[in-house]
Amino acid sequence: MLDADLIGAALILTLGVTLQTAVGFGLGLLCIPMLVWSGWALPQAVAILIGAGFVQTGLGTFTVRREIRWSFMLPLALALCVGIPIGQYAMGLIVDAGQAIVKQAVGGMLLAVLVARAIYQPAPRDAVARGWGYFACGLGGVLGGLVGMGGPPLVLFALAHTWNKDQYRAFIWPIFFLTTPVLVAGLALRFDTGVLIEFAKGVAMAPCVWLGSRAGMAISQQWEMKQLQLGASILLYGIAISSIVGPLL
């Protein structure tokens, strides 16, 4: 018999993938706060998310393998890996402070990401200074290790380039796929090897990724992108504020 918590996690993951597919962002931003609010400990919530993402990014990496610029991407992946243990150490401090603090920290980080995304909208150019790439990936590693929201800095760095869709995917998918083992190993070492079970559960939820992708594509065909992004932003701001204020009430 399926566990109710597992069913809830599968539904949250499906919703997150639907949002990501429809508007181009929001998977971790939606899933991590909702998983934490539904009772999952933060390390387990992150493990579930990256387990499901591991399947998606692995398949995606294979489909764009001819577009991948390994000499460009691998040093940046290393910078991401350097940031991960820093974030996971900080995650441990937050977890030790109690679930109420975890909810507020996740909400605060979500709010900060949303504000940064609204303020910083880089104009695409042919090349961006490599230093910005190391900064974005290092920050992404810290945020990924801290609350499982490492994507936004990398996405902003990618959007600052005049890349087509395949070039964009050939940066985002491989870098997350290659650094997932570092995330998982760090979680197991920092917390408990039990997170490996949650990671396996996330991998088993791969059908949710397919279902959410199909739903997101259907929604994107029915609504204008500006409307979808506005609705998604309002939803995520609401979740962030609720996560911060909720424990106080």
pLDDT beyond 60 at 142: yes
DSSP structure string for 51-65: HHHHHHHHHHHHHTG
Q: Looking at the DSSP assignment, which residues form a beta bridge with residue 161?
A: 125
Phi, psi of 23, deg, nearest 5: -120, -5
Quote the CA–CA distance of 115 and 107 in Å, as a whole number: 12
* Residue at token pair 């001819």: 66
| 88-106 per-position pLDDT tens digit | 999 999 998 888 888 888 8
Mean pLDDT over residues 44-61, rounded? 87
Percent of the chain with pLDDT over 70: 96
Identify the three-state secondary structure at position 160: coil
Residue 132 has a CB neighbour count (10 Å cut-off) of: 14
Mean pLDDT over residues 3-17, rounded? 85
Q: Residue 26, exposed/middle/buried by CB under 10 A (0-12, 13-18, 19+)?
A: buried
- pLDDT at position 97 is 87
Q: For residue 49, give the nearest of 36, 62, 61, 63 by alpha carbon.
A: 36
Percent of the chain with pLDDT over 90: 22
Quote the CA–CA distance of 80 and 140 in Å, as a whole number: 6
Instruction: Return left, alpha or beta for 98; rule: phi > 0 is left, psi -120 to 50 is alpha, else beta.
Output: left
**What distance, in Å, lies between the first and last C-alpha atoms of the chain?**
36
Range among 72-81, 192-201, 236-245 rated most confident: 72-81
Mean pLDDT over residues 142-165, rounded? 85
Mean pLDDT over residues 56-68, rounded? 85
Q: Where are the alpha helices (DSSP H) in 148-194?
A: 151-159, 165-190
Q: Which residues contact 183 (CB under 8 A, 6 or more apart)?
A: 46, 50, 84, 144, 145
Mean pLDDT over residues 106-132, rounded? 83
pLDDT beyond 50 at 7: yes
Confidence of residue 1 (pLDDT cuts 50, 70, 90): very low
